[in-house]
Structure 1
Amino acid sequence: SNQELLLVNSEVEKNSKNTLVAYLLWWFTGFMGGHRYYFGKTGSAVAMTLIFWLTVWFFGLGFIITGIWMLVDVFQIS
Structure 2
Amino acid sequence: MKIHYHCSKSLEVAHVYYNHDVKERLGQLAMAESEFNKKKKDKLIAFLLWIFLCPFAAQRFYIGDIGRAILIIFLGWLTFFIWPLLDIIFAIKKIDKLNEEIELEILQHVKSVA
TM-score strictly above 0.5: yes
Q: Give the fraction of aligned pairs with identical amino acids, expressed as a percent.
A: 29
User: 1:70 maps to what in 2?
Assistant: 85
Q: How many residues align?
A: 68
TM-score by length of 1: 0.65
| Whole-angstrom CA distance in 2 between matches of 1:29 and 1:38 | 11
User: 1:35 maps to what in 2?
Assistant: 59
Between Structure 1 and Structure 2, the one with more helix by share is 2
Larger radius of gyration: 2
How far apart are residue 34 of structure 1 and its match? 1.0
1:55-66 alignment, distance < 5 Å: 56=77, 61-62=78-79, 64=80, 66=81
Gaps of 5+ in 1: none
User: 1:12 maps to what in 2?
Assistant: 36
